[in-house]
Structure 1
Amino acid sequence: MSAQKDCEFLVKRARELVSDDPCAAKAWLITARTLYPADFNIQYEMYIIERNAEKTASAGRLLYDMFINFPDQPIVWREISVITLLEVVSGLVPPNQEAPKTPEDQVRTVIQTLVEQSLFPFFPPFLANQLRAFTDSRDDLSLGHVVVLLQYDWPQGEMLFLKAVDKICQQGSFQYENFFNYVTNIDMLEEFAYLRTPEGGRIQLELLPNQGMLIKHHTVTRGITKGVKEDFRLAMERQVSRCGENLLAVLHRFCINEKIIIIQSLP
């Protein structure tokens, strides 16, 4: 039996079981996904079961996985379109707002609505993948937003965070003055501290408010660079003490305070 027929059989078997024994159906699909992780139909069937059971958290995670792994599947965009419609019906999107014309516009509408309504902390990884952080052009602001958002449900977003770190290393520098307002994840703090060391590449990090202006206007002042390094060290030590803060509260504050520049950072 070919791999394709194996997948079809496993999905069919799960469909037969779902009404009488949903746990058994999920077990079949989990096994199927383990054997064939690149098969879209298996993951979609898992999503449908969770969605129909109104298990929004797990359904949302599966939809996000499909969006990342199968972005060219029309059925994924259809689901996103349905979400957009539900947002309009529920009154989150103003009824007089112009309807999105393309799937990309639909995604942007959902994101903008969630941000403006301060509901976004429930789906940060989705936005992290929509920002302009990983385009060919440099966009430190979007890259910084991604770092903030990837703290949610850590370490699920670790691979994307490492991708962001790689881009920073390639650039040789990084500027994000909101860093110490919103980044409290200890693993991320340690990584950024490492980037400034000789082993980490001596990456120039401008994470303190007005740090760039301070260096620019005092380049002839003896010891100014040393002073900036000391400020960075002290700021990092203070930040470590914030690692126990409620992360959802931090992300909620981020969405409220920075919603305009978040929306501007969308493609």
Structure 2
Amino acid sequence: MSAQKDCEFLVKRARELVSDDPCAAKAWLITARTLYPADFNIQYEMYTIERNAERTASAGRLLYDMFINFPDQPVVWREISVITLLDVVGGLVPPTHEPVKTPEEQGKAKNKPRKGQNDLRLLPCTSKAILPFCLQLMFACFKLRVFTDSRDDLSLGHVVVLLQHDWPQGESLFLKALDKIIQQASFQYENFFNYVTNIDMLEEFAYLRTPEGGRIQLELLPNQGILIKHHTVTRGITKGVKEDFRLAMERQVSRCGENLLGVLHRFCLNEKIMIIQSLP
């Protein structure tokens, strides 16, 4: 067996153990790192386990080691960028009102740099300017991951939340996300009612629950799986859950006037760990 296959086997074994026996998974990776100290995948897997377990001190040390030993790995720079980005957002005070784009600003947004040119942006050091730019960068981190053949409801939910900022320009991507949900025939994102306040999006998701919309199974309420078991009656008709969903939608419509940047700022602050864990 080649060294590369050995490394792949050790990483695979650790992944299989991490949910049931994280200590054993860690032991496998420590052994793997001792045998193959120059293998990036082993060290990144160690970092991922520590990061997802929210052990920030050890995760930070591992990330620093990767930065020193593997500075050419794009994954390392992406990880650093997202963490830095969320820290920047956390230090901002969201604007008290939505910024209104002038026709001149809208025209500038359409003028993309030509291929092969670098895009240097100079922003005022204000929350009004920096927060939207950070949201765009965060959206870019999830965009390519979401629109693939693999299923990732959590990242797809993050994309739906972030697409609100670029509305209605982001409507085509939102419809693409809806198509994926329809193909899956189900969608689970329990933070939906915390952060989605766009009336057009709410209408589309409400439509998915109707017979005309395909009766898509949407789990958008916290602990909805438990609620389904609680409300299921003799013939399996989840009347209580349908009523909960309807009431939640009605309450959400009343929030459509909220300051969107404030909502998205809370999303970045409250879900920071989950956002980082959602990265591949």
**Normalised TM-score (structure 2):** 0.57
Q: Using the alignment, how far apart are the partners of 1:252 and 1:174 within structure 2?
A: 24
Q: Using the alignment, how far apart are the partners of 1:110 and 1:103 within structure 2?
A: 10
Q: Residue type matched to 1:141 in 2?
A: L
Q: Which residue in 2 is equivalent to 1:173? A: 186
Superimposed CA distance per residue, residues 161-196 of structure 1 (whole angstroms, 9 cap, x where no aligned partner): 111111100000001110000000011001101111
Structure ranking higher on relative contact order (CA contacts 8 Å, 6+ apart): 2
Q: Which residue in 2 is equivalent to 1:112? A: 83
Change beyond 3 A, Cα 1:193–1:121: same
RMSD (Å) for aligned C-alpha atoms:
2.4
Q: Secondary structure at the residue paired with 2:164? A: coil
Equivalent of residue 135 in structure 2, options 124, 148, 156: 124
Change beyond 3 A, Cα 1:221–1:128: farther
Change beyond 3 A, Cα 1:218–1:232: closer
Q: Which residue in 1 is equivalent to 2:171? A: 158
Q: Which residue in 2 is equivalent to 1:133? A: 146
Q: Using the alignment, how far apart are the partners of 1:235 and 1:151 within structure 2?
A: 19
Paired residues of 1:121 and 1:252 also in contact (CA < 8 A): no
Change beyond 3 A, Cα 1:211–1:104: same
Paired residues of 2:232 and 2:239 also in contact (CA < 8 A): no
Q: Using the alignment, how far apart are the partners of 2:221 and 2:252 within structure 1?
A: 12
- The number of equivalent residue pairs is 174
Q: Secondary structure at the residue paired with 1:152? A: helix
Q: Using the alignment, how far apart are the partners of 2:189 and 2:226 within structure 1?
A: 13
Equivalent of residue 241 in structure 1, options 250, 254, 258: 254
**Normalised TM-score (structure 1):** 0.59
Question: Following superposition of structure 1 onto structure 2, how do residues 17-96 of structure 1 map, counting pairs within 5 Å?
Answer: none
Q: Using the alignment, how far apart are the partners of 1:206 and 1:172 within structure 2?
A: 11
% same residue: 76
Change beyond 3 A, Cα 1:219–1:234: closer
Paired residues of 1:178 and 1:209 also in contact (CA < 8 A): yes
Q: Using the alignment, how far apart are the partners of 1:165 and 1:108 within structure 2?
A: 28
Q: Using the alignment, how far apart are the partners of 2:152 and 2:160 within structure 1?
A: 13
Unaligned runs of 5+ in 2: 1-59, 91-130
